[in-house]
């Protein structure tokens, strides 16, 4: 089945929506967060949890996101990384162990493509197919031959052809271009796929046994998954809640085939539950269902074999937190289910759900990421394209399209403002600072080519963003 919305990954890792009409194309570079915020993982300079999605300032040009135990990572279009949340083991990569309530810069990386977050460690895939890691290392999950934490990113030696990473609570996986998988870190339940159990962990790279044709990988708390080229799925590691999907709750330290999955196109995992998106865009889930995180219409009933998530027939992505799940749909909307104690379902409430509900205030999303009890998305807020927007009683408006090489910004009261015009890669094309405007401000746009742009306006009372379309 052909996806209704096709996503293209270009060389810098930027994902944009491929839509035929310029008039409906979207700039999708805003980062939104919601759910638990005890350690500032929502990035809004507070520690108050939130049951609805809202934007994180300064994230224009986001191309990759990852939610850890209680921290967040974002790759921007220039290859740099921002991080925030808890930092007790240096998982923010800023050279300290101080928590950050708003985005801070990860040190020493300017060519990142994607980021991945474990419970207390972080990994970045770079444009040269190498990886860097930082944060907690008590089980060797940084893969550098030690068990010493680091708050500064370090290169993981011996890997130069990586195409994807997956990060569990205390272990890490790397998918290589030849279809094999490297693993390192905690192996208490056999999650490194060695046929052995090592409670002390393995701090150097080992090859997962019996897999040579993997095309995707995923990790839960202490279990691992691989999607193979023949559309089947292998699993290994901890299986106490049936998260391996093999019809038992017995752990295995060698990869085994997930029962009943023959047409998978993507995989993902939560704490102790797992997912596969099938070719028909439906979702199968298995494992822990204490809070309804399998999305099957009932809670407390675990499943050690794959079952269908109800009410979703157009899934593009799926991800799992500790006890909840989220899905990105082909129309750019999101659904969530499972535990909702901290508002992590984003439905403006705190009621847990055993069937998917719509995540409010998000549209045209292109990427999702689940932390333990919080979520992230790249997309647009609902209503962001309105021609006239009232912000706390102050009116700011502009022409939605760029005609005669001019952008007209309108105000009904005298205001001081800054503006920036971004292209679809998040690059600033035009800007103005500390401008006093009453009535109309005309911004020359002759240097802009035909296409989609966005103007971000900052006033003393807040920020607003509009989509612009320059036509011939």
pLDDT tens for 138-158 read: 999 999 999 999 999 999 999
Which whole number is the average pLDDT over 223-242?
98
Bridge-based pairing of strands 462-470 and 401-402 is parallel
Q: What percent of the chain has pLDDT over 70?
A: 85
Which token pair is 141?
């999950």
Question: Quick check: 398 pLDDT over 60?
Answer: no
CA distance 437 to 428: 21
pLDDT-derived band at 300 (thresholds 50, 70, 90) equals very high
Which token pair is 96?
């300290």
Q: Is the pTM higher than 0.85?
A: no
**Cα–chain center distance at 217:** 15
Question: Quick check: 362 pLDDT over 70?
Answer: yes
| Residue of 231, 245, 346, 360 whose CA lies nearest to 294 | 245
Length of the chain: 472
Q: Which of 8-17, 94-103, 221-230, 272-281 has the least mean pLDDT?
A: 8-17
Q: Decide: residue 176, CB within 10 A, 0-12 exposed, 13-18 middle, 19+ buried.
A: middle
Which whole number is the average pLDDT over 233-242?
98
pLDDT at 82: 98
Which whole number is the average pLDDT over 226-234?
97
| Residue of 284, 338, 344 whose CA lies nearest to 315 | 284
CA distance 143 to 179: 20
Going from N- to C-terminal start, the domains of the chain cover 6-381, 388-470
CA distance 454 to 218: 35
Residue located via tokens 């990421």: 369
Question: Quick check: 111 pLDDT over 90?
Answer: yes
Other Cβ atoms closer than 10 A to 438: 10
> For the segment 301-328, what is each residue's pLDDT rounded down to a tens digit?
999 999 999 999 999 999 999 999 999 9
Question: Quick check: 465 pLDDT over 70?
Answer: no
The domain defined by 6-381 carries CATH number 3.40.640.10: no
Domains 6-381 and 388-470 fall in the same CATH topology? no
Using alpha carbons only, give the angle 385, 379, 18 rounded to the nearest 5 degrees: 90
Q: Which of 115-119, 367-371, 391-395 has the least mean pLDDT?
A: 391-395
How crowded is the C-beta side of 404, counted as CA atoms within 13 Å? Answer: 4
CA distance 325 to 337: 5
Question: Quick check: 349 pLDDT over 60?
Answer: yes
What string of H, E and C letters represents the secondary structure of 364-400?
EEEEEEECCCEEEEEEEECCCCCCEEEECCEEEEECC
Architecture of domain 388-470: Sandwich (2.60)
Q: Which of 9-13, 241-245, 372-376 has the least mean pLDDT?
A: 9-13
């Amino acid at each position: 089945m052909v996806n209704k919305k096709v996503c293209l990954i270009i060389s810098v890792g930027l994902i944009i929506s491929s839509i035929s009409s310029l008039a409906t194309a979207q700039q999708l570079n805003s980062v939104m967060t919601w759910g638990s915020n005890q350690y500032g993982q929502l990035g809004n300079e507070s520690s108050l949890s939130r049951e609805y999605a809202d934007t994180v300032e300064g994230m224009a040009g986001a191309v990759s996101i990852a939610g850890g135990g209680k921290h967040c990572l974002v790759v921007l279009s220039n290859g740099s990384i921002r991080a925030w949340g808890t930092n007790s083991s240096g998982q923010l990569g800023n050279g300290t162990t101080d928590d950050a309530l708003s985005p801070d810069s990860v040190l020493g990386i300017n060519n990142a493509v994607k980021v991945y977050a474990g419970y207390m460690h972080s990994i970045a895939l770079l444009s040269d197919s190498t990886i860097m890691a930082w944060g907690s290392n008590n089980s060797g999950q940084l893969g550098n031959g030690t068990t010493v934490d680091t708050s500064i990113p370090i290169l993981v030696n011996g890997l130069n052809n990586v195409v994807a990473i997956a990060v569990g609570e205390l272990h890490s996986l790397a998918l290589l271009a030849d279809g094999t998988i490297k693993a390192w870190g905690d192996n208490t339940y056999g999650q490194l796929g060695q046929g052995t159990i090592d409670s002390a962990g393995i701090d150097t790279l080992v090859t997962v046994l019996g897999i040579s044709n993997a095309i995707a990988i995923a990790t839960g708390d202490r279990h691992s998954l691989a999607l193979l080229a023949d559309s089947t799925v292998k699993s290994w590691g901890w299986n106490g809640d049936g998260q391996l999907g093999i019809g038992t709750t017995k752990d295995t330290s060698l990869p085994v085939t997930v029962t009943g999955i023959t047409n998978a196109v993507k995989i993902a995992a939560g704490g102790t539950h797992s997912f596969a998106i099938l070719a028909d865009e439906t979702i199968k889930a298995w494992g822990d269902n204490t809070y309804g995180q399998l999305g099957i219409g009932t809670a407390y009933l675990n499943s050690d074999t794959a079952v269908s998530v109800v009410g979703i027939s157009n899934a593009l992505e799926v991800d799992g937190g500790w006890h909840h799940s989220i899905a990105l749909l082909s129309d750019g909307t999101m659904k969530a289910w499972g535990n909702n104690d901290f508002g992590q379902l984003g439905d403006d409430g705190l009621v847990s759900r055993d069937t998917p509900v719509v995540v409010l205030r998000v549209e045209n999303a292109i990427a999702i990421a689940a932390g333990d009890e919080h979520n992230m998305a790249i997309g647009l807020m609902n209503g962001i394209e309105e021609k006239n927007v009232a912000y706390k009683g102050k009116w700011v408006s502009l022409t939605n399209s760029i005609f005669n090489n001019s952008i007209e910004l309108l105000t009904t009261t005298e205001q001081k403002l800054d503006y920036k015009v971004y292209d679809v890669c998040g690059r600033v094309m035009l800007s103005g600072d500390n401008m006093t405007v009453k009535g109309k401000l005309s911004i020359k746009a002759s240097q802009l080519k035909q296409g989609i742009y966005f103007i971000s306006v900052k006033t003393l009372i807040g920020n607003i963003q509009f989509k612009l379309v320059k036509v011939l």
